[in-house]
Amino acid sequence: MKRVCVVGNFGVAGVKPSDGQTVKTQTLYRALVKKYGSENVTCFNTYGGALALLKWMFQSWWLLMTCRNVIVLPAQRALPIVVPLLFVENLLFRRTLHYDVIGGWLSSYLKNRALLTAVLKHWNHIYVETTTLQSKLHEMEFQNVQVVPNGKDLIPLERVPARDYTLPLRLIFLARVNREKGLEDAVQSVRKVNDMFDSPRYVLDVYGKVEDDGWFDEMRHLFSPQIAYKGVLESDKTVESLSSYDLMIFPTRYETEGVPGSIIDAYMAGLPVIASRWESFSDVVDEKMTGYGYRLGDVEDLITVLLNVVENVDKLTNMSQLALQKACQYTEKQMIEIISNYL
């Protein structure tokens, strides 16, 4: 009998992942294989939509028969199918069920789903990325929630690269390219700040998978000469690439982000971040130490922060050191050490 099975979106075989869900699922699986050996770890890939879920309904019986632990990382659409089905089937097998939550949306998602809430309260373990989400679930009388910060299989820089922080400062946006990730806010604020001066204060490079070509084509008309789209950055090349920048900008409009993988990348490269204050912001960013926050969706407040950074460039060297130090909280090793206590 195998020790553990990981159920989640592993993406397309042979294609390097660029989204947070797939990266986290693959990272967890590889970490478990390193710790317990491939003979003790198996997986099921939910990538493929309805056909994959149909296959899962039959395959789940076999996984419960042959694995002592089952860890699932479902997206919102799969959650109301995967969780109840496994719970009912497990009444026969009595295996240990683990739900590893991606992001910070679970408490709001469950508010009007009493049956799914009741089922999840009977799962053995729920792993959340932040203390903010843990507190919200405790308020809903969950007793099975542990904090397991998101972790990545990346090696942090040994030391912060020498950066002279001359103007213009080099900003990087690294996320899925869509309206909700706030790219438009970043573009508008950088343009407005640069327009205040005779010479540019910032350049902005944008990396990420474009999810809406029509919207992005309209967005590109707003780009100034200091703003450029650079394509998709391979997940195993992020630290090397980010080390040539001064700051990361993370202008998300999602209030329920968890521990964003792109901010982990930034810390691994010793980059401070400028980020909107989503619900779990304080779990991830230490204000004026590893980054600066602004009111979510407030472009004027973001402009104020960008101007403040320019006026206090001398603070960035120390903030870079603190960012690199914080990276140790988000390693694959840190993540798997916590989870292995429950396997």
Per-residue pLDDT, 265: 96
Tell me the per-residue pLDDT of 220-265, one tens digit each, with 9 for 90 and over: 989 999 999 999 988 778 999 999 999 999 999 999 999 999 999 9
What 3-state DSSP class applies to 281? helix
- The full set of domain ranges for the chain reads 2-148, 169-329
Averaged pLDDT for residues 264-287: 97
Top pLDDT among 56 and 74 is at 74
My answer on whether omega of the bond before 168 falls inside 30° of 0, hence cis, is yes
Q: How many CA atoms lie within 13 A of 307 on its CB side?
A: 14
Q: Does domain 169-329 have CATH number 3.40.50.2000?
A: yes
CATH number of 2-148: 3.40.50.11930
Per-residue pLDDT, 54: 79
Per-residue pLDDT, 39: 96
In whole numbers, what is the pLDDT of the chain averaged over residues?
94
Are domains 2-148 and 169-329 of this chain identical in fold?
A: yes
Rounded distance, CA 149 to CA 70, Å? 19
Cα dihedral: 186, 187, 193, 198 (round 10):
150
Tell me the per-residue pLDDT of 166-181, one tens digit each, with 9 for 90 and over: 999 999 999 999 999 9
Cβ proximity of 97 and 124 under 8 Å: yes
